[in-house]
Amino acid sequence: MIHAYRAELLSVAHDPRDAGPEAVRHEPDGLLVVKDGVVVARGAFETLAPQFAEVEVEHLPGLVVPGFVDAHVHYPQTDRIASYGEQLLDWLDKHIFPAEKAFVDKVHADEVAAFFLGELLKNGTTSALVYPTVHEQSVDALFEAALERRMRIVSGKVLMDLGPDGLNDTVASGRAASEALIRRWRGRGRLGYAVTPRFALASSDAQLADAGALLAEHPEVLMHTHLAENVHEVAAVAARFPDAADYLDAYDRFGLVTPRSVFAHGIHLPERSCARLHESGAGIAVCPSSNLFLGSGHFNFGQADRHRLRLGLGTDVGAGTSFSMLRTAGLAYQAALAREDRLNPFRALYLATAGSAALLHIEDRVGALEAGQEADFVVLDCASTPLLARRTAGADLATRLFALQILGDERAIARTYVMGECAWKRTP
């Protein structure tokens, strides 16, 4: 089946930091042609339309961009979003760990996973790297729901043998469950697996070493964890690993710093860590909403750019306060400005799409709406609110995109398409 969509098309396939303005691809009047869920052609309508004269064309009013790719989010924390009053370590103990214990119940996990993925689609997110819980069935629930919706989701059982009662495993049980999940879900739909130690303080040395061994045995999987999010956390890791050069080194000694490693946050990194991240090819999921909400600090874009680090963008719900990648991009701009750096709207769009896709090693499949990629895309409405409509009336592309990131949220998502088919549509 062939579908053709006429719209204003915009994507940023490469980091403008490195590729410059040529990274931005924009067709004011474009045509996107999709066959069996994959983009087969994209270009100016006037040029491309004669080649597909027999195909019915649907007009999409609005600005069409690739489906957003959330590089770090916790689905079990959905019901604890907006939990009051604590920084990271106390917030985990008071709000998050009690909530995650409920995922021992598969029925509960199924219900939350379905709601969570619905929120992603409502916000234009079609791919994500997702934390579940320590429970094997929490991964099954998420993957089953994602398979039904044909979304591209990467996840993996959390490893935490030093976790609280009811929320821990052992080295042996963590390994067995991880291997069972990899076998069960390998090659199914658009799913991927990530070895997921919660963070350095939640696993014994033996479990961290076993996670590194698991990575080595399964080179197709990702490694997903947290890094240098909060100053108290950083101090606790330094006390736990006195021989480590820094927080990153506490992972590196166990084989967890690789080109397929995604570290969330990284807002308190010494220069040595940045140099090692660049050398290894590992990347950082920047999470400005949760960093602000938990009082953790602001990501240092200037430092990251000096070291040419690979970056993506994550909502980090439930410490993050919105599922909207538009809103998250706007907060990333503000976090950069707080350190006297500049994040232009095209680079912010890159981080929310192709940049995050590259972190997840799926940039050949999603993130840029190029021929050969899966047709995940979002229709953005610049007139979704009266204020947004006034701000963008007659404005150029950069101004409209920036206004969407600063003033926009789920209301600016008119439609979300997954594999070329409408998966969510805003109703009047």
SS3 string, 328-340, reads HHHHHHHHHHHCC
> Both 246 and 341 in a single domain?
yes
- Strand (E) positions, 221-260? 222-227
Q: Supply 312's token pair.
A: 């993506």
Q: Supply 174's token pair.
A: 């963590």
Long-range Cβ pairs for the range 208-216 (8 Å, 24+): 208/251, 208/254, 208/256, 209/254, 209/255, 210/171, 210/174, 210/175, 211/159, 211/254, 211/256, 212/254, 212/255, 212/256, 213/255, 214/175, 214/178, 214/179, 215/255, 215/256, 215/258, 215/260, 216/255
Cα gap 191→128, rounded to integer Å: 10
> Both 309 and 407 in a single domain?
no
User: Does the model's pTM come out above 0.85?
Assistant: yes
Q: Which one-letter amino acid corresponds to residue 380?
A: L
> Both 341 and 382 in a single domain?
no
Instruction: Supply the CATH number for residue 54's domain.
Output: 2.30.40.10
- 323, 291 Cβ separation under 8 angstroms: no
Output the tens digit of pLDDT for each of the chain's 428 residues.
Answer: 899 999 999 999 999 999 999 999 999 999 999 999 999 999 999 999 999 999 999 999 999 999 999 999 999 999 999 999 999 999 999 999 999 999 999 999 999 999 999 999 999 999 999 999 999 999 999 999 999 999 999 999 999 999 999 999 999 999 999 999 999 999 999 999 999 999 999 999 999 999 999 999 999 999 999 999 999 999 999 999 999 999 999 999 999 999 999 999 999 999 999 999 999 999 999 999 999 999 999 999 999 999 999 999 999 999 999 999 999 999 999 999 999 999 999 999 999 999 999 999 999 999 999 999 999 999 999 999 999 999 999 999 999 999 999 999 999 999 999 999 999 999 87
> Both 60 and 74 in a single domain?
no
> Both 112 and 208 in a single domain?
yes
Q: Which helix (H) or strand (E) holds 408?
A: none
> Both 403 and 420 in a single domain?
yes
Hunting for tokens 């997840």 — which residue is that?
360
Work out the burial of residue 105: count CB atoms within 10 Å of its CB; fewer than 13 is exposed, 13-18 middle, 19 or more buried: middle
Domain assignment of residue 62, given as a range: 2-66+368-425
Q: Report cis status (omega within 30 of 0) of the bond before 318.
A: yes
Angstrom CA distances, 140 to 104, 107, 169, 414, stand at 12, 11, 17, 30
> Both 154 and 184 in a single domain?
yes
Question: Checking DSSP bridges between strand 261-265 and strand 421-425, what pairing results, if any?
Answer: unpaired
H-type alpha helices, 25-150: 45-48, 88-91, 97-100, 106-122, 136-149
Angstrom CA distances, 36 to 69, 258, 307, 415, stand at 21, 34, 40, 19
> Both 374 and 402 in a single domain?
yes
84 three-class SS: coil
pLDDT at 245: 98
In 3D space, the residue among 6, 2, 24, 7 whose CA is nearest the CA of residue 15 turns out to be 24
DSSP string covering 323-377, please? S-HHHHHHHHHHHHHHTT----HHHHHHIIIIIHHHHTT-TTTSSS--TTSB--E
In 3D space, the residue among 224, 146, 223, 218 whose CA is nearest the CA of residue 188 turns out to be 146
Q: Which one-letter amino acid corresponds to residue 89?
A: L
Q: Which residue among 301, 324, 359 closes a domain?
A: 359
Work out the burial of residue 55: count CB atoms within 10 Å of its CB; fewer than 13 is exposed, 13-18 middle, 19 or more buried: middle
In 3D space, the residue among 254, 286, 252 whose CA is nearest the CA of residue 73 turns out to be 286
Tally the domains of the chain: 2
> Both 194 and 129 in a single domain?
yes
In 3D space, the residue among 299, 296, 293, 349 whose CA is nearest the CA of residue 321 turns out to be 293
> Both 83 and 147 in a single domain?
yes
Q: Which residue among 359, 378, 396 closes a domain?
A: 359
Q: Which residue among 359, 390, 405 closes a domain?
A: 359
pLDDT at 428: 76
**Helix axis angle, 136-149 to 171-185, nearest 10°:** 20
> Both 240 and 351 in a single domain?
yes
Instruction: Supply the CATH number for residue 140's domain.
Output: 3.20.20.140
Cα gap 157→173, rounded to integer Å: 11
pLDDT at 325: 98
Work out the burial of residue 5: count CB atoms within 10 Å of its CB; fewer than 13 is exposed, 13-18 middle, 19 or more buried: buried
Cα gap 21→155, rounded to integer Å: 34
Q: What DSSP designation does 241 have? A: -
> Both 261 and 395 in a single domain?
no
